[in-house]
């Protein structure tokens, strides 16, 4: 089961975001037994303010287990196709967190360290486009968008 929340999105953005969440949860997490909460927060001009289209983060678990609460911040001034493609990118990251493919080992410092499958990666030692989780997310966003449109022609 998935709980969806939103703030500062238009009706069309909310509909697209929630349909994209349902699509990706069905595709990637259909066997997930835990409840997942995903909040999509529209941020006006996020691209100009922070030089990003969107990001996906999670709430820390008290037991240190796999995250089940996520926040996707997305630029709410994007055109709808870019908005959807960006949502797909961030939902790939949500899948990575949920399945334990990616874990943040050291959080909140300049030398953040992640674990990707069994490999430790320090962010300051690798270029953004060489992060394996970004390679997957960038590689899948277009294909997921095409699949989404095929399943949801309207």
19 domain residue, yes or no: yes
Residue 52's CATH number: 3.30.379
76 domain residue, yes or no: yes
pLDDT-derived band at 148 (thresholds 50, 70, 90) equals very high
pLDDT in tens, 74-109: 999 999 999 999 999 999 999 999 999 998 886 666
114 domain residue, yes or no: no
Distance (Å, rounded) from C-alpha 107 to C-alpha 105? Answer: 6
63 domain residue, yes or no: yes
What total of structural domains would you count in the chain?
A: 1
111 domain residue, yes or no: no
- What residues have CB less than 8 Å from 93, skipping those under 6 apart? 56, 102, 133, 137
State the pTM of this model.
Answer: 0.93
Distance (Å, rounded) from C-alpha 129 to C-alpha 132? Answer: 8
């Amino acid at each position: 089961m998935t709980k969806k929340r939103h703030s500062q999105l238009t009706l069309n953005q909310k509909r697209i975001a929630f349909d994209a969440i349902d699509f990706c949860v069905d595709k990637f997490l259909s066997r997930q037994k835990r409840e997942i909460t995903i909040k999509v927060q529209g941020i006006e001009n996020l691209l100009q303010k922070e030089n990003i289209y969107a990001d996906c983060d999670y709430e820390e678990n008290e037991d240190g287990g796999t995250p089940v609460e996520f926040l996707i911040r997305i630029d709410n001034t994007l055109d709808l196709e870019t908005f959807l493609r960006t949502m797909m990118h961030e939902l790939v990251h949500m899948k990575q967190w949920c399945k334990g493919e990616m874990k943040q080992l050291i959080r909140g410092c300049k030398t953040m360290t992640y674990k990707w499958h069994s490999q430790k990666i320090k962010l300051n030692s690798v270029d953004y486009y060489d992060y394996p989780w970004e390679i997957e997310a960038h590689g899948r966003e277009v294909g997921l968008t095409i699949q989404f449109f095929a399943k949801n022609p309207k």
